[in-house]
A and B are shown apart, each in its own frame.
Chain A
Amino acid sequence: MEDIAYSVQEVKEKIVQTFSDVIFDDDKMEVRRLYMTADRSILFELCKFMKNDLGFCHCSLVSGVDRCDRFQTVYHITSYASNITAEIVVDLPHDEPEVDSITPLWGGANWHERETFDMFGIIFKNHPNLKRLLLPEDYKFFPMRKDCPEGGR
């Protein structure tokens, strides 16, 4: 794999050329950061493109957020060659929280996706081993959802 260093602007342009409906958050201007929002249908293709063509070789974090009306999965993906960390936010409907797994691309996302499933009940399709990880296997609820009661109430 060629290690070509791109600037943030170049990465943006290349993504826009291939994926027209990715929305960039241009309000946040920080060095070595890239913020974008993508639809869940193109997430896997976008990640594959970023990994294979733009050199984003490291998946830092996959986390879930419960926005009450919708779920979000947030991906932090890093390129070692160009030192850019990209943040991809994907919205999921509350009644059907399903998204493609990126574990086939980055092995490092494996346990992050399992944990997100564990805590939020978000289903990652094509995940090799989507089971409870931190919580016991017989739990019936997903504790990090905002509607989960706290303190036994």
Chain B
Amino acid sequence: MAEMWINMGPQHPMTHGLWNMRIKVDGETITDAEPVIGYLHRGWEKMVENRLYPQIIPMADRLCYGSAFTWSHVYCMAVEKLMDIEVPERAQYIRAMSDELQRIGNHLMWLAAIGTDLGNLTMFLYATRDREMFLDLFTSLTGARMTYNYCRVGGVRNDSPPNWTRDLVRTLDYFEKRLKEYDMLVDQSKLFRMRMEGLGYMSAKDCINAGITGPVLRASGVKQDLRHNDPYEIYEELDWNICTHDDCDTWARYRVRMMEMQESVNIVRDILKKMPESGPIRVKPPRAAPVGTAMARMEDPRGESLMYLVGDGTDKPYRLSVRSPLYVIISASPQLLKGYRIADVPSILGMLDVCVGEMDR
């Protein structure tokens, strides 16, 4: 069969959204690939130039429906840097706790998606059901399931509800049992491992040069996690480990994400121990930001998210530039795909945890 280009997208079950992966195949083997994005470009960066600072928080939520809290969090951190605001300690703890819960929720969404990518619907439904527990937690904390509008410049919107600790501990206990069940369902299944091992190899050096961050980088054996290497909020005071894996393939990416879920559970437990019982959760920010620039970055579930903010003394940002971790990872995806087969495309790309909202902005 002669070489031909196949469009995997924009309407395709593999893509998890609206983007197009063009792949060139020779028989079943991929010889070239080209991602085409921009189908969901909303002009986010232009829009925020015409919004007041607090109005941007719900917009930041909508960068990614899977990890809404982390995006509003990084936006608030950038504005706080610009306005030079110190966040109360309890608010910092609540933010870190929400980050970790969001990370679990996001990774569960990824697990569900990878289940259908590999052709197993059971995993999809199990993971979706477990994610629901965390969405319930967020509902009781913030009042919304997915886009929370919870983080505020200078703190968080409200304190945790009554019985929050009890519900949280129950959910975490349940979830740890479920993690063992995933271990039995997937990790010990020869067929699942056959679909994941040895695919999408990328060495640590290539990963760093391509700008890949987050779980994909850690799966190549690089101990790099912004929560540890560039700590924000109160992560310095918590005990936890960076999850890495040395295999550099999709199996390693899978394992790193699963380990991160367990690690997030440990972090939340640690936070519950160290969190002050009560205290202020929010300081009032000024309406207008000073002239200057600020940069904030944090560890998103998908990698390093960064916001660069330019203030011009008014109540609207002059420029807000977003680094989406996935945007960079997708730019490197042709290197991951070359030489593998068509059947590996969902497996390799699914492990990147694609969310088009943050990719196209």
Contacts and interface: CB of A to CB of B under 8 A. Distances in A.
A133 B308 contact: no
A60 B37 contact: no
A65 B310 contact: yes
Nearest to A145: B46
A80 B205 CA distance: 12
Interface of B: 37-38, 41, 43, 45-46, 50, 208-213, 222, 224, 229-230, 293, 295, 297, 304, 306, 308, 310, 318-319, 321, 323, 327-328, 330-332, 360-361
Contacts of B310: 65
B348 to A, nearest CB: 18
Contact of B323 (A60, A80, A83, A135): A60
A59 B211 contact: yes
A63 B46 contact: no
Nearest to A107: B210
A91 interface: no
B297 A133 contact: no
**Chain A: interface secondary structure?**
mixed
Nearest to B34: A129
Given A134-B38, A134-B41, A61 B321 contact: yes
Given A66-B319, A108-B328, A87 B295 contact: yes
B222 A80 contact: yes
Contacts of A60: 211, 297, 304, 306, 323
Interface string A50-77: 0000000111110111100000001010
A111 B45 contact: no
B251 to A, nearest CB: 24
15 contacts: A59-B211, A60-B297, A61-B306, A65-B310, A108-B212, A110-B331, A111-B328, A111-B330, A119-B45, A133-B38, A134-B38, A134-B41, A134-B361, A144-B46, A150-B50
A90 interface: no
B210 A74 contact: no
A55 B300 CA distance: 24
A106 interface: yes
A121 to B, nearest CB: 14
A63 B230 contact: no
A143 B43 contact: yes
Top 3 A-B residue pairs of the complex, sorted by shortest distance between their CB atoms: A108-B211, A63-B321, A111-B331
A133 B50 contact: no
A133 B45 CA distance: 15
Given A83-B230, A110-B331, A134 B37 contact: yes
A111 B360 CA distance: 12
Interface string A110-153: 11100000010000000000000111100000011000001000
A107 B38 CA distance: 20
Interface of A: 32-33, 57-61, 63-66, 74, 76, 80, 83, 85, 87, 106-112, 119, 133-136, 143-144, 150
A143 B46 contact: yes
Contacts of A133: 37-38
Contacts of A143: 43, 46
Contacts of B46: 143-144, 150
B212 A76 contact: no
A108 B212 CA distance: 7
Contacts of A135: 38, 41
A87 B78 CA distance: 15
Given A108-B328, A111-B328, A57 B45 contact: no
Contacts of B212: 108
A108 B38 contact: no
Contacts of A57: 208-209
Contacts of A33: 295
Contacts of A61: 306, 308, 321, 323
A107 B321 contact: no
Nearest to A32: B230
Given A60-B211, A60-B323, 18 more contacts: A61-B306, A61-B321, A63-B308, A63-B323, A65-B318, A65-B319, A76-B295, A85-B295, A107-B331, A107-B332, A108-B331, A110-B331, A119-B45, A134-B41, A134-B360, A135-B38, A144-B45, A150-B50
B297 A85 contact: yes
Given A83-B229, A134-B38, A107 B209 contact: yes
Contacts of A150: 46, 50
Name the residue among B210, B224, B306, B328 with the largest chain A CB count within 10 angstroms.
B328
A112 to B, nearest CB: 8
A58 B211 contact: yes
A98 B361 CA distance: 25
Contacts of A59: 211
